[in-house]
Chains A and B, each alone.
Chain A
Amino acid sequence: MWNAIVLFVVLIFAVPADALDGTDLLKQIDRNLNPESFEMYRKLINIEPDGRKKEFTLFSVKKGLDKIAALFLEPASEKGRSTLRLGDNMWLYIPAVGKPIRITSLQSVIGGVFNNSDILQLDYAAEYDVVNVDDSGSEYLLFLKAKTRTVAYDQLKIRADKNQKLPTEIECLTEAGMLIKTLYFKQVKDFGGGIVRPSYVETDSPLYKGYKSVMIFGKIKKRDFRDEVFTLTFMPNIDSLR
């Protein structure tokens, strides 16, 4: 009887201890990927099965856990478009339309495998709880569950390098466990200012057989912004931050 009680007590305390470690690990992975507030230049490339591609260049700014905005610099057809995310709220500003419209995280403003939540990615720890962590030699395997139903992917499986505490592969799954896409993190690079992270993220999806999309990170720099930058009214002016 006493053994059962002791085992029960140990299990109760063992689960939060694991979860706490996992949460800390996820926060470290987040911080290793990006500073909490930063500016960044990225190129997104959609590649078709026959090798044809379409490229987009973005300037992004992020502040804290839940504020991120991105401005399209290229190609000319997208230039001046900007996207803003405040927590679960997302907007798209198209200069010709002249006002921000609400968009959803599952849509894609560029087409292809990356959707809006991939382009306006917040900290993983802000959107997910760590359900379990497996230690498999040279890497960790983290199982994440979305905190709310408003998050684009219900579950994530993150493979992370044990030494660098950086992701190498992330599987994005539905609530039923169906694979939506896989992100592959490659080419770790020193961006300066203590930021060392993968500079190349590739993704493919069973929903888009033969297609893939690539995100190449150019510059990442720590920078603080006023909250007013992350507002609908400021969306047409994001270029003034460059």
Chain B
Amino acid sequence: MKPDRLCESWIWSLILVLWFSAALVLPLGLRAEETYTFDFSETEKKPYHFSGYLEARPVHFRADTDSALYKLRFYNRDEGNTLQEFNSKLQLEGSYEKDIIRLYFKTNTDYKHSYLGGDEQSTFYEAYGSIQPSYSFKIDAGKRNFKWGKGYAWNPAGFIDRPKDPEEPEIGVEGYIALSADYIRSFSGPLKTISFMPVLLPVSKHINESFGKRDYLNPAGKIYFLFFDTDIDLIFLAGGSKTTRWGADFSRNITTNWEIHGEFGWIKDYQRTFIDRFGKSDTDEYNAFSYLIGMRYLTARDTTFIFEYYHNDTGFMEDELRDYFDFINDGYQVYLDTGNVEALQTAAVLTEKNYGGNNPMRDYLYLRIIQKEPFDILYFNPAVTTILNLHDRSFTLAPEIVYTRITNLELRLKTSIIVGSDDTEYGEKPNDYRLELRAGYYF
């Protein structure tokens, strides 16, 4: 066994021991506490607050050595059939309030130790100041998230947010620097609330560079209505960094245990770049209309179903993705025959810029089933999630168990099984399955 592997095995063992120790030993200490009291000092408000989140997440992969993306990533390495990776995360959050002014920040530091060695990345996810002269009006300036759209796994109308990972949609992402305001009015009658959020989002060499073309000030906005017990948002993005976009979403409860939601985003003159199997690049331009429809349903047995159908009009067609995989496979064969890596390097760039995003094709189904506290085991919530590519029928299936019995400690064990034939989105992923353990502590 290589020294690195030995080290990773030790890390795995240590994490497992800590996980089970936390689950079994710590609660014994808590059993001594019996009295039910309310210490009012807990409710005292201070002008500042500071909190954080620390996470350890070891991951074990079973590689699919015949897949296109495995060949692309490991063509010149021999890492064997299994891979281990250790991830950790530290998030710090703080705020200071005085009168109508509030300052807030949230940092994120990710550390990954994988076959490539150690890698650490730190950034501010959010850092902004707010002025709230009244309950109905607020101005924010700085880096923040907007999270527009009602979709759970995808947001075709999330025009000024970074895309989220549909396999982990509740994990925070980095925001953009912007100036925004919130104005709220409430009424009696069927129209209960209107709120308007105008946004100005600048893009220059040092500000929001990844958003789009530089040297533009992009106006965006969202108008929200609560009308006949239905949440409705109308959304737009204008300006030069990206083409004009319009969107809308809705959400409402049909019954006490059944919610439905929908969302669409229309993008004017969307430009899409793709390659043929020989690597020749082509671009087409069209108005893209992406949409999503979904529901959340709770049964009498406390089982929650979250279901969504997503049409991604900016995505690739089945034959286009097949050409991309063929280009990688051909490039790999050229590398084996001649040692020439040019095609594989081109494919790596294309993967990063075009094809490597989450769910790059057109039509998907998402289903998540969560069983709350089965067998009367409090704070124990098993779930299973699947994302199905409707074009090539490949999918991922991810069962998990979450345990939150210990205050501020969340333990999750999750497996992701990937199923798909050759030339399909999931079938060409670099691994067959992965097993991960996540221990997160809030402080």
Contacts and interface: CB of A to CB of B under 8 A. Distances in A.
Interface residues of B, number: 65
Contact of A97 (B148, B170, B256): B170
A51 B31 contact: yes
Interface in B130-148: 132, 135-136, 138, 145-148
A228 B259 contact: no
Interface stretch (B34-42, B238-246, B345-353): B34-42
Contacts of B442: 75-77, 79
A228 B184 contact: yes
B34 A208 contact: no
B124 interface: no
Interface string A149-176: 1111000000000000000000000000
A216 B36 contact: yes
Contacts of A228: 135-136, 184-186
B184 A231 contact: yes
A102 B259 contact: yes
B36 A240 contact: no
Nearest to A240: B132
Contacts of A107: 298, 304, 372
Interface in A176-227: 208-211, 214, 216, 218-219, 225-227
B404 A214 contact: no
A6 interface: no
B147 A231 contact: no
Interface stretch (A9-17, A21-29, A86-94, A130-138): A86-94
Contact of B407 (A75, A89, A214, A232): A75
Contacts of B409: 77
A55 interface: yes
A94 B170 contact: yes
A59 B40 CA distance: 12
A43 B42 CA distance: 10
Given A74-B42, A102-B296, A240-B132, A214 B36 contact: yes
B30 A52 contact: yes
A236 B378 CA distance: 28
Contacts of B138: 237
A51 B34 contact: yes
Nearest to B195: A233
Nearest to B409: A77
Given A97-B170, A111-B379, A227-B186, A54 B407 contact: yes
A231 B136 CA distance: 10
A34 interface: no
A73 B39 CA distance: 13
A102 B192 contact: no
A104 to B, nearest CB: 5
Interface in A39-95: 41, 43, 45-48, 50-55, 57, 59, 73-77, 79, 86-90, 94
B193 A216 contact: no
Nearest to B33: A53
B229 A88 contact: yes
- For A43, A151, A208, A230, the residue with the greatest tally of chain B CB atoms inside 10 Å of its CB is A43
Given A76-B443, A219-B40, A226 B253 contact: no
Contacts of B45: 239, 242
B31 A102 contact: no
A144 interface: no
Contacts, number: 155
Contacts of B118: none
A48 B45 CA distance: 30
B405 A54 contact: yes
A56 to B, nearest CB: 9
A230 B147 contact: no
A1 interface: no
A228 B305 CA distance: 32
Contacts of A239: 45
Nearest to A86: B192
B171 A104 contact: no
A231 B34 contact: no
Contacts of B185: 228
Contacts of A242: 45
A3 B252 CA distance: 54
Contacts of A48: 378
Contacts of A226: 135-136, 186
Contacts of B37: 216
A219 B39 CA distance: 11
B407 A55 contact: yes
Contacts of B184: 228, 231, 233-234
10 contacts: A54-B379, A102-B231, A111-B372, A111-B404, A149-B256, A218-B40, A231-B184, A231-B186, A233-B182, A237-B138
Given A86-B192, A226-B186, A228-B184, 13 more contacts: A59-B43, A79-B442, A87-B229, A89-B253, A94-B170, A101-B152, A102-B259, A102-B296, A107-B298, A107-B304, A112-B378, A152-B256, A211-B378
Interface of B: 27, 30-31, 33-34, 36-38, 40, 42-43, 45, 51, 97, 102, 132, 135-136, 138, 145-148, 152, 170-172, 182, 184-187, 192-193, 195, 197, 224, 226, 229, 231, 251-253, 255-259, 261, 296, 298, 304, 372-373, 376, 378-379, 404-405, 407-410, 442-443
